[in-house]
Structure 1
Amino acid sequence: MLRWERGTVVTILPAWSGVVRCEVELEGGERVPALAYPELTGAPSPGEVVLLNTNALRRGLGTGGQAFVVARPDSVAATGESAAQPDPAGHMVKARYTPMQTVLDAIDDPASPHHALLQDAEDLGGMPVVVTDLHSALPAVVAGIRETDPDARIVHVHTDAAALPAAFSRTAAELRERDLVQGVISCGQAFGGEHEAVTVHSALLGARHVLDADVVIAVQGPGTLGSGTPWGFSGLQLVESLHAAHVLGGTVLAALRVSEGDARERHHGLSHHASTTLGRAALAPALLPLLAPTDPQYSAFHASVAEQVDSMIVAPARRRGVEHRRLEVPGDGLRAALERIPVRLSTMGRSLAEDPAAFLHGALAGRAAAQRITRS
């Protein structure tokens, strides 16, 4: 069920590439923050009447807990703005069969200039692919890659388990603006990256063969969904990326979800999401980066996480014929790299200072991936 409310744009708020944020005064006088995607609705202006979807706002949700602009009826009627938008050359439809479905150009569409290249592309050539389940790990993985190989070409593949609009990620936008990530490909039902792809498979191939990526980070957008049940969480989609990278000949590394600040027992230490995705659901192997015992930062907590990885991921997977392999990765310089990364580090509301292990494990995966880059 959708909750509709109508209001008037009062002011435009600071935002980032791909979105417009505004303050809207509702018909009853209440003022609320709202977000618009110009790709879908065009850009609202002060004084303009807008129709909002306020489901997330009224339910007090965390990520995405704001109103979204669905329509600008007066603007479209008065100016024909929607008719002025250029038509895509291809026929890719995303958010399919919803009222907001949008037609986009995709790298693997027959109308794409890259279609012929991707018709023949079948292999990633060993390219490192980091898979993880929380979008908050993205900047940490980037920090680890950049600290180890400053010249690496990094591409982010935005999968469709959480926020469908890639533009919703302020993190990805800022990483892109600072050239810390060289491209964003949104795949599946996700949309709004610099490039679009039909599947995670074609997104990975596009990253390698179209964008010349040295390394890819594949992760869902912000707003992970969890139910507290063993199998009911959106991060389970990590397995699809893992399998795709494996069958296409990539080197798969998993950035483990680990926390020393989460009060929930199921997420403290090694998260049950990591043990389920990798220990129970994965049908192909991955490299599992952990802090090396010889590192000065190593503690009883890290030893405990290593034991959990062995008992909850490696052993159960091996019983099913899947041979994950632990990697012992030195952490020297990674804390400083995380502190330098020019985007906000936050996971479930916790900062680097409040939950250093969460970000360290992302950086360890980034370092391990950078060490496996090969250039011709």
Structure 2
Amino acid sequence: MVIWEKGRVLQILEEEPHIQWLTVREERSGERKKAVHYPGFFGGLDPGDQVWLNTTAVRLQLGTGGVHFVAGRIGKDPAPAPVKGHMMKLRYTPWQVALPTGEEPGSPWHQTLQKKRSLEQTPVCIGELHSMLPIAATVWRSLSEDQYPRVVYVMTDGGALPAPFSRHVRRLTSLGWLAGTITCGHAFGGDMEAVNLYSALLLARHALNADLIFVSMGPGIAGTGTPYGFSGVEQGQAINAVHSLQGIPVAVPRIQGKDVRERHQGISHHTETVLCSVALAPAIIPLPSRLPEPIQDQVKQLKRNCLTTHHWVEVSITDQKVEEWLNAYPETIQTMGRKWKEDPLFFRTISVSAYLTFQLWRGIQNGRSVDRAIHEGL
């Protein structure tokens, strides 16, 4: 289950209150590796400290998450951290932590969550991959001019569980492009904690006053190559949640121009499964205009296969405009190891989804219906 190694901290590469990036030396092999440590578990580490390392992801040659993780310190007692809440995350594991959730008694939002049942037509952009978040946030920032919406990120537990692991969350927060992050389920480390996606959405709207909400898992995604064996099925569950809470679900399709795996070429089989089998409620599905003919055929087949009547909207945005928007973000955005110029269709699809979500928010703010907000903003 787990490959353990002893190691020694050589250098602290980066340090923030909730995460340390380290260089460590494996005791057995002598190799130098990168490792991640969360100080909330054992206290901060210093060069020279001896630690236990979970090296499993590196040994399996995984991508996201393919670093060592500090799982304990040797020769020093762990520094106790104050307990501030009553909801356990990572339950029934040696690393279970007690955290204050927005719903629990004692929270200033407990009474609000007892009463609120609606997102009040808040547009919610729902992505499958974490790399979609910085693209959407950058587009929203570029479109906002002098009226930037309050953007709240709801991070599910389908990928990485600690929010501090995400460089994009840290960067977007420091830029002021995120008004807050809510971690739900067993994900933790956001500005607010939530027991599940439903209450996380309500907290985003009514506690953090979100104008726009982006939902996705943290970094990483689990997949097996089978129709339902991937953690991204949660995108369909999020569509259902937003619809039942009277929000406006905008589902970002995963469309790739390049991928060595046939099942992800063009419209990913993940998107087909989510929209045709998992989502029981209708969603707005933005599509880039001028799709290559084989992908247009895929879209037609997808529409025929979907039992749910989704609202498909074609949006015309050039690659040049997308590149202009993305240049405003000071970090490199990659998806499955590919940058903007290596798969522009993937980035354009997310950009048109963000663009349409923004037009919905602005139109509804101006008193338009959802349909008018969509079509008058295109």
Give the alignment's TM-score, normalised by structure 1.
0.91
Once the two structures are TM-superposed, the CA of residue 15 in structure 1 deviates from its matched residue by 5.2
What is the correspondence of 1:288-327 to structure 2 with a 5 Å cutoff? 288-292=285-289, 298=290, 301=292, 303-312=293-302, 314-317=303-306, 320=307, 322-327=308-313
Once the two structures are TM-superposed, the CA of residue 325 in structure 1 deviates from its matched residue by 1.0
What corresponds to 2:315 in structure 1? 329
Cα distance in 2 for residues equivalent to 1:2 and 1:274: 32
Corresponding residue to 1:144 among 134, 139, 145: 139
What corresponds to 1:87 in structure 2? 83
- 1:200-227 Cα offsets, whole Å, 9 max, x none, are 0000000000001111110011111111
RCO (CA 8 Å, sep 6+): is it higher in 1 or 2? 1
Once the two structures are TM-superposed, the CA of residue 17 in structure 1 deviates from its matched residue by 6.2
Does structure 1 residue 35 correspond to structure 2 residue 47? no
Corresponding residue to 1:217 among 209, 214, 217: 214
Does structure 1 residue 166 correspond to structure 2 residue 163? yes
Does structure 1 residue 240 correspond to structure 2 residue 229? no
- AA paired with 1:327? V
Once the two structures are TM-superposed, the CA of residue 282 in structure 1 deviates from its matched residue by 1.0
Cα distance in 2 for residues equivalent to 1:228 and 1:3: 25
Give the alignment's TM-score, normalised by structure 2.
0.91
SS of structure 1 residue aligned to 2:2? coil
- AA paired with 1:323? T
- 1:204-256 Cα offsets, whole Å, 9 max, x none, are 00000000111111001111111111111111111121111010000010111
SS of structure 2 residue aligned to 1:193? coil
SS of structure 2 residue aligned to 1:152? coil
What corresponds to 1:195 in structure 2? 192
Q: Which runs of 5+ in 1 are unaligned?
A: 293-297
Greater shift, 60-69 or 34-43, is seen at 34-43
Cα distance in 1 for residues equivalent to 2:135 and 2:267: 17
- AA paired with 2:90? A
SS of structure 2 residue aligned to 1:246? helix
Say whether the 8 Å CA contact 2:17–2:39 is kept in structure 1.
Answer: no
- AA paired with 2:328? R
Identical amino acids, percent of aligned pairs: 40
Cα distance in 2 for residues equivalent to 1:334 and 1:60: 33
What corresponds to 2:116 in structure 1? 121
Cα distance in 2 for residues equivalent to 1:331 and 1:239: 26
Q: 1:341 to 1:249 in 2, by over 3 A?
A: same
Corresponding residue to 1:255 among 239, 252, 255: 252
Once the two structures are TM-superposed, the CA of residue 177 in structure 1 deviates from its matched residue by 1.1
Q: Which runs of 5+ in 2 are unaligned?
A: 367-378
- AA paired with 1:145? W
Does structure 1 residue 278 correspond to structure 2 residue 268? no
SS of structure 1 residue aligned to 2:53? strand
What corresponds to 2:24 in structure 1? 24
Corresponding residue to 1:101 among 96, 102, 106: 96
Count of residue pairs brought into register by the alignment: 359
Say whether the 8 Å CA contact 2:237–2:278 is kept in structure 1.
Answer: no
- AA paired with 2:314? E
Once the two structures are TM-superposed, the CA of residue 16 in structure 1 deviates from its matched residue by 5.7
- 1:242-284 Cα offsets, whole Å, 9 max, x none, are 1110100000101110111212221111111001101222100
Say whether the 8 Å CA contact 1:148–1:371 is kept in structure 2.
Answer: no
The alignment's C-alpha RMSD in Å is: 1.6
Say whether the 8 Å CA contact 2:253–2:267 is kept in structure 1.
Answer: yes
What corresponds to 1:348 in structure 2? 336
Does structure 1 residue 339 correspond to structure 2 residue 327? yes
What corresponds to 1:295 in structure 2? none
